[in-house]
Structure 1
Amino acid sequence: MSITQRTRHVCRIAHWVLTGGILSTIEVTTQWADGHVVVVNKPAGVPTHRPDPAIVGVVERLEAELGEKLGVHHRLDAATSGVLVFSRSKDAAKSLARTFESHSGGKHYLAVVIGRPPLGSGLLEHQLSKTPRDGRILVQESEGAEALSRYKVLAFAGPYTLCELEPITGRTHQLRVQMAAIGCPILGDTLYGGGVGPGRMLLHAWTLRIQHPVDGAVTFKAAPPDLMDPASFSLVKLLGALLEHNVASEPDKNKDDAYSLATPDRSGLADVKLERYGSVAAIRVYERDLPYARIRWSDLDLATLGEALLERTWCEGAWVIRHPLHSAESAPEPAPLAFGVVPAAPYCVGEEGVRYEISLQAGLGCGLYLDQGENRRRVQALASQRNVLNLFSYTCAFSVAAAVGGASGTTSVDSSKAALDWGRRNFEANGLELGPHRFYKDDVMAVLERLKRRGERFGLVICDPPSFGRAGKRTFSLKKDLGDLMQACLAVVEPGGALLFCVNHSELSGDLLRRVFQACSHEAGVDIVSHSLTVGEGGPLAVGTELKSLWAEVG
């Protein structure tokens, strides 16, 4: 039976937009209305029913429009769009109640997920339970409520997949949790790892089959939003929507020209961080294996992203930096990818009024790690009249920030002469005399031992070690050497001084860093006045390489 044989109209649903507290209206298309049922195509962002007095849901507005009470037999999350049916008669209420209680109604959803499911189609079986702390649903090994769903791959677009999902059981957040459990969170699902996405969760109730009290079995189909349309699903559209929602079209006038633009945990750009270095956007791609899914950006996909950045944002060039996180030991160095105008020579960028030389062709760091920006600001604020020790100093950015902040002197230690020479140029770029600033090309542990023997102490010690390293004949492993390194750092902090210790290692959590610090300070007999731990944003989805920073004040 065609929908046009029944009533079709548009009503307006008033609700509170929570982000702005402004009363807004969203159109909800009524797909079918007769004496027994009303079927609507609910847009994302509108709740099925009123969650509190300040917010009006679909059912309340429809009841006001129709002047009658409606029966609610199933719900869609506010973030989900698509088919919703309400009963208007007792016969329809009984029929719909039987349909949804027995899970015999055919429900099919469309979802854009991050990554690729393990197979072209499959059955998902999990045990789910609700966490009392934040209301999220978690997968349990046993003793949870059984959740069954089917999935089918419809199309691929770069690292994203359009899937058709069919819930067999009816658990809360079932599809969202189960797709996240196989390493494929739904794009835009902030609760389960899909980032903000294009401003909404890309989950749409596509078709619904019910038993109509007069017409028998009837299937309703809600036209999907453009980003989820199987006929036109494309990476170009997805990236355009993601950039529009997550990256400003113009540079931030309140910042200098080096800062983070978008992180995967927030934006939903699969395993990609975007950073601004002057007129160029750096595209950091984290290449890794997931337990179930494989997220991969081909050169063509990255070209699509680069061109989208040039077309939709302020940047004049884009440069791809690959971060290999998988287990391949001898993978060949990938060819560089550049789009638009990318300077071949080193150039300077600004952060909080401090100038740093960067080179996009220099490898992973470019000369300046932007995730340390907040720590550099804090170092600059604390450094006045302090003698500062910067370990694993790389291009000496912390030392420069300390010198600009009025440090009485800095000591930068790194095993790379080229990095220390780069650091000297950073001092010169800011008009700083090199006299009170020392540069040691040496093994950090050896330097710490010498400093301890000589009785040298520092008002601020900064340690930002790599996960692995080599200096001369010595091999360094952060996972193995963390405790020894922490103790050696504490031994050269003067009373009243401060320690900043940072890690990015995926197997070293913030909690572990805190426990090691507490054990080391206790064993060394160091009085700790206070300490704080921050975990930065922007680590690749589910990898754990986000920056963990521990600040401590020594008594």
Structure 2
Amino acid sequence: MPATVILQEGREKSLKRHHPWVFDGAVANVKGRCRSGDTVDVVAADGSWLGRGAYSPASQIRVRIWTFDQQEVIDNAFFLRRIEQAWQLRQRLMQQANTNACRLIAAESDGLPGVTIDLYNNLAVLQLLSAGADKHRSKIVWALQKLLPDVAIFERSDVDVRSKEGLEPLIQPLHGDIPDEVEIVEHGVKILVNPHTGHKTGFYLDQRENRLAASRYADQASVLNCFSYTGTFACYALNGGASHVTNVDVSQPALDMASRHIELNGFAPERCSQVKGDVFEVLRNYHNQQQQFDMVILDPPKFVDSKASLKRACRGYKDINMYGIHAVKPGGILLTFSCSGLMEQSLFQKIVADAALDAGRRVQILEHLSQAPDHPVGLNYPEGYYLKGLVCVVL
């Protein structure tokens, strides 16, 4: 029998709405012995059963719920059911996007808290971010092998959030031969993914449809692609008919990969320039030189990693958007993003509006953008919505 986590009186409401987290302050008592990652039953103060999840004594999120079905057992078959259900959806979405890559498992939103699995052609990259996910590694790998027997499996559990669960970073091959690079394709654009050193699990799959949105506004445009990483927004823009793209990034290896992507996709090298430098400084220099572009793309890294850093992050977002707006020709397009889950859509839009005021420009929103459909958001798990973007015309 699993141990039982008993909640404080009145703290069961979120679980009754099937939100998958139990915070430490909601716990009144733990009945029975349980170690980190063990499966526990969660009950209300009156003893009524609420859910079954993974216990994490080191985390503020004390329990992550695996299931709200009292009859469901957390075994090999459980993980196979969850991953198979997710795979059925992803196959349809991959056909729509003409891609051989997807986020196969999006953690809580796919009913597997702390589990992220990205599929790059014939390679699955696994991230286990919670004590429960780490505890069931062998079951998850077994289910993947059962469902996708020809796919190699590599673990990239090297993110800081594991420390909040009392876990060390871990990078390891789990099944099959792990390549140095994988070539994927999406919407006709070829992309090289490095699962060993690439950002996240190797690439930003969540921006797929937003890259396509950029291509729709790119015809004959001069494009400034800020925080360009490996230049895939640039490839989409060139595919959409851009006359020239300038990639700006602080990382020379990322810019080198961007140049490889230009060559891989058959674009003339003179249609794309690589600028190594701090984006804030580069944009300030463009402003001082009165240099402008038909389209500016702002896809910065996460500025917000805690509520304490939100105020400072707002200043950063405002500054980068102000200089980004300065860099857009009258009538041109701004694509701007925030990947910070703690940055709410309404606040992000207000920041961009304040940046437009400071830049002395009138700006209209044409489209609201979000993460690709293979990064679904559970209706009872709003924290799964993290990527927000705007397509704007700058007048």
TM-score w.r.t. the length of structure 1 is 0.58
2:389 is the counterpart of 1:553: no
- Which residue of 259, 272, 277 maps to 1:437? 272
The 1:161–1:127 alpha-carbon spacing in structure 2 relative to 1, beyond 3 Å, is: closer
Structure 1 or 2: more helix by fraction: 2
- What letter matches 1:377 in structure 2? L
2:147 is the counterpart of 1:263: no
Structure 1 stretch displaced more, 335-344 or 258-267: 335-344
- The sequence identity of aligned pairs, in percent, is 24
Residues in 2 aligned to 1:415 and 1:257: alpha-carbon distance in whole angstroms: 29
Q: Equivalent residue for 2:120?
A: 277
Write the deviation string for residues 477-534 of structure 1: whole angstroms up to 9, x where unpaired. Answer: 7454221111000101112211111122243222221111111112322111325444
Q: Is the 8 A contact 1:395 1:420 kept in 2?
A: yes
Shift in Å, 1:552? 1.5
2:66 is the counterpart of 1:187: yes
Q: Is the 8 A contact 1:379 1:402 kept in 2?
A: yes
- Which residue of 274, 291, 302 maps to 1:456? 291
The 1:332–1:164 alpha-carbon spacing in structure 2 relative to 1, beyond 3 Å, is: closer
Residues in 1 aligned to 2:158 and 2:212: alpha-carbon distance in whole angstroms: 26
- Which residue of 155, 161, 165 maps to 2:43? 165
Q: Is the 8 A contact 1:402 1:410 kept in 2?
A: yes
Q: Is the 8 A contact 2:7 2:45 kept in 1?
A: no
Secondary structure, aligned partner of 2:268? coil
Residues in 2 aligned to 1:391 and 1:267: alpha-carbon distance in whole angstroms: 32
Shift in Å, 1:550? 2.2
Structure 1 or 2: more strand by fraction: 1
Residues in 2 aligned to 1:550 and 1:323: alpha-carbon distance in whole angstroms: 31
Residues in 1 aligned to 2:163 and 2:12: alpha-carbon distance in whole angstroms: 35
2:138 is the counterpart of 1:303: yes
- What letter matches 1:284 in structure 2? Q
Q: Structure 2 matches for 1:308-387, cutoff 5 A?
A: 308-313=143-148, 315-326=150-161, 334-365=169-200, 368-387=203-222
Shift in Å, 1:151? 7.2
- What letter matches 2:145 in structure 1? L
Q: Is the 8 A contact 1:499 1:551 kept in 2?
A: yes
Shift in Å, 1:149? 9.6
The 1:311–1:466 alpha-carbon spacing in structure 2 relative to 1, beyond 3 Å, is: same
Q: Is the 8 A contact 1:394 1:419 kept in 2?
A: yes
Q: Equivalent residue for 2:81?
A: 241
- Which residue of 350, 355, 378 maps to 1:515? 350
Q: Structure 2 matches for 1:50-61, cutoff 5 A?
A: none
Q: Equivalent residue for 2:129?
A: 286
- What letter matches 2:123 in structure 1? V
Secondary structure, aligned partner of 1:393? coil
Q: Structure 2 matches for 1:72-87, cutoff 5 A?
A: none
Write the deviation string for residues 404-463 of structure 1: whole angstroms up to 9, x where unpaired. Answer: 111010000011111100010011111111112110011111111121122221121111
Write the deviation string for residues 107-136 of structure 1: whole angstroms up to 9, x where unpaired. Answer: xxx9x9xxxxxx854342126889xxxx96
Q: Is the 8 A contact 1:251 1:314 kept in 2?
A: no
Secondary structure, aligned partner of 2:330? strand
- What letter matches 2:66 in structure 1? L
| Aligned-residue RMSD, C-alpha | 3.9
- Which residue of 301, 318, 332 maps to 1:497? 332
Write the deviation string for residues 37-91 of structure 1: whole angstroms up to 9, x where unpaired. Answer: xxxxxxxxxxxxxxxxxxxxxxxxxxxxxxxxxxxxxxxxxxxxxxxxxxxxxxx
Residues in 1 aligned to 2:394 and 2:315: alpha-carbon distance in whole angstroms: 25
- Which residue of 9, 20, 24 maps to 1:125? 9
- What letter matches 1:410 in structure 2? V
Q: Is the 8 A contact 1:319 1:342 kept in 2?
A: no
Unaligned 5+ runs, structure 2: 20-25, 55-59, 305-311
Structure 1 stretch displaced more, 269-278 or 392-401: 269-278
- Which residue of 294, 311, 316 maps to 1:481? 316
Residues in 1 aligned to 2:240 and 2:228: alpha-carbon distance in whole angstroms: 17
How many corresponding residue pairs? 367
- What letter matches 1:165 in structure 2? V
Q: Structure 2 matches for 1:195-234, cutoff 5 A?
A: 201-202=68-69, 204=70, 225=71, 227-228=72-73, 234=74
Secondary structure, aligned partner of 1:403? helix
Structure 1 stretch displaced more, 458-467 or 248-257: 248-257
- What letter matches 1:168 in structure 2? D
Q: Is the 8 A contact 1:256 1:351 kept in 2?
A: yes
Secondary structure, aligned partner of 2:364? strand
Residues in 2 aligned to 1:127 and 1:281: alpha-carbon distance in whole angstroms: 38
Q: Is the 8 A contact 2:129 2:161 kept in 1?
A: no
Secondary structure, aligned partner of 2:66? coil
Q: Equivalent residue for 1:14?
A: none
The 1:441–1:148 alpha-carbon spacing in structure 2 relative to 1, beyond 3 Å, is: closer
2:236 is the counterpart of 1:396: no
- What letter matches 1:297 in structure 2? A
Unaligned 5+ runs, structure 1: 1-109, 113-118, 139-146, 189-200, 205-224, 229-233, 288-294, 470-476
2:289 is the counterpart of 1:410: no
- What letter matches 1:187 in structure 2? W
Write the deviation string for residues 16-55 of structure 1: whole angstroms up to 9, x where unpaired. Answer: xxxxxxxxxxxxxxxxxxxxxxxxxxxxxxxxxxxxxxxx
Secondary structure, aligned partner of 1:384? coil
Q: Relative contact order: is structure 1 or structure 2 higher (C-alpha 8 Å, sep ≥ 6)?
A: 2
Residues in 2 aligned to 1:510 and 1:444: alpha-carbon distance in whole angstroms: 23
Write the deviation string for residues 231-269 of structure 1: whole angstroms up to 9, x where unpaired. Answer: xxx432321221222223995572321222221232111
